[in-house]
Amino acid sequence: MPDQTTRRLVVAFNFPPFTDGSAVTVAKRIIEADVPVDVFSADLSSVRARDESLWDLVSPWIRDHQTVKVPILFADERSLVPFVTAGETAIRKRGTSYDEVYSRSMWPHSHFLAARLRTAGHADRWIAEFSDPILWHVDGTPRPSGTTSLKGSNLRLLRAVDHRSQTFLRNNATVLAWAQFIPFLLADQLVFTNEQQLTVMLSDAPEWMRAGVEKKAVIAPHPTLGSEHYRDESEPTATPSSSRYSIGYFGTFYPNRGGGEFLEAISLLPAEMRERLELHVFTADAGTLLDVAARLNISDCVHRRPPLPFRDFLRVSGRYDALLVNDIATSPFGVPSPFLPSKYSDYAGSSAATMAITLPSSPLDNKPARWRAHVGDVDGIARMLASAITVG
């Protein structure tokens, strides 16, 4: 039984009701832990849509939630410093001492504020989670980052580490570098979603830092909510055809990141099989998807649906025969992939089968799936689809 008396603070720059992948994961972490928390987050109304169902999902565990308005800039001190200052001021005025503070990237702001609260004595323990390798895009190119000024709260963080670490941080004074290495140095526990992510992020650290990171590292894939969240009591909207093998995809569909191969595989199927297949993509941006489908003459198989609130997505997912999830097309990191799609954890709780297009030996490839084919193998994807349609 979780300790209900422990005081926990969640620092999450992006948090419900604003919706994105990290906000969903933080909400699920809170539900999974099953203890009340206070939350400090940012107002993301200028860059993120609201999903009140996501807030309704997590709100029973929220004791106090404070949101601050700051400029919304990704790796820029013009946004980060006001967030840290506002958070530290709010916690100091509240006069609360926490047993534990938890923060999660992406958005680097969260780790900076959590580090400051830990070093200032406002929390006895700091758990820092990383959603993805901070320093790299999925294609292996560096993420652009603003610099960190060596003053104010940053200077206080610098003084909290030893001389060798200070020299390293001074020589790597960017927002994203500090968002990775400050937790490496100061957090009490480091959470990664898969082993290959840890491998890639360790390779960015100097050798003398790695043993300490490995000692504090925990592998914790994205949580899957309980079956009660998938019970379908909603109105019969977005219902797939009962006469076709139906595949659902929820989120942005990237034809240039593996999705195009899936559409091409559909086009390779015999006409009688294509007539028994439909793909529903729930997304706000489907222009490229529909253009590619039209070019491949499979428009009758591919349907765009409007995005659903998170709780409706969970309930509707079970109406499909299979739910599609895919790795990106390449991995230039020296490992099969440091990215585990968070969508898999939501599909895993559904009664629908999972259909995974994976890089061999990737974190996704190591997960259970009813149907599986490999990235780049269009003929193999077509064979998988033919088997799924035949078996039903």
Cα separations in angstroms, 112 against 83, 118, 128, 153: 9, 10, 10, 9
Cα separations in angstroms, 275 against 157, 241, 243, 301, 389: 61, 11, 10, 7, 10
Q: What digits encode the pLDDT tens for the residues 258-306? A: 788 999 999 999 999 999 999 999 988 777 888 999 999 999 999 999 9
Architecture of domain 231-391: 3-Layer(aba) Sandwich (3.40)
Adjacent-strand bridge partners of 65? 39
Residue type, 376: G
- Would you say 136 and 110 are in contact if contact means Cβ atoms under 8 Å apart? no
Q: Is the pLDDT of residue 256 over 70?
A: no
- Domain extent listing, the chain: 8-219, 231-391
Structure tokens at 319: 């109406």
Angle separating helix axes 175-186 and 109-119, nearest 10 degrees: 40
Q: What digits encode the pLDDT tens for the residues 89-124? A: 999 998 888 999 999 998 999 999 999 999 999 999
The reported pLDDT for the residue numbered 201 is: 97
DSSP 329-363: S--TTSSS-S---THHHHHTTSSSEEEEEE-TTST
Residue whose C-alpha is closest to residue 58's, from 30, 38, 86, 77: 30
- Would you say 230 and 349 are in contact if contact means Cβ atoms under 8 Å apart? yes
Q: What CA–CA distance (Å, rounded) separates 384 from 354?
A: 12
**Beta-carbon count within 10 A of 101 CB:** 30
Lowest mean pLDDT among 272-276, 331-335, 348-352, 366-370: 331-335
Q: What CA–CA distance (Å, rounded) separates 81 from 79?
A: 6
Query: What 8-state DSSP symbol labels residue 172?
Result: T
Q: Is the pLDDT of residue 231 over 60?
A: yes
Q: Is the pLDDT of residue 235 over 70?
A: no
The reported pLDDT for the residue numbered 1 is: 39
Asked, colleague to colleague, whether 8-219 and 231-391 share their fold, the answer is yes
- Residue 216's φ and ψ, nearest 5 degrees, are -95, -5
CATH numeric code, 8-219: 3.40.50
Q: What digits encode the pLDDT tens for the residues 157-215? A: 999 999 999 999 999 999 999 999 999 999 999 999 999 999 999 999 999 999 999 99
Q: What CA–CA distance (Å, rounded) separates 303 from 279?
A: 6
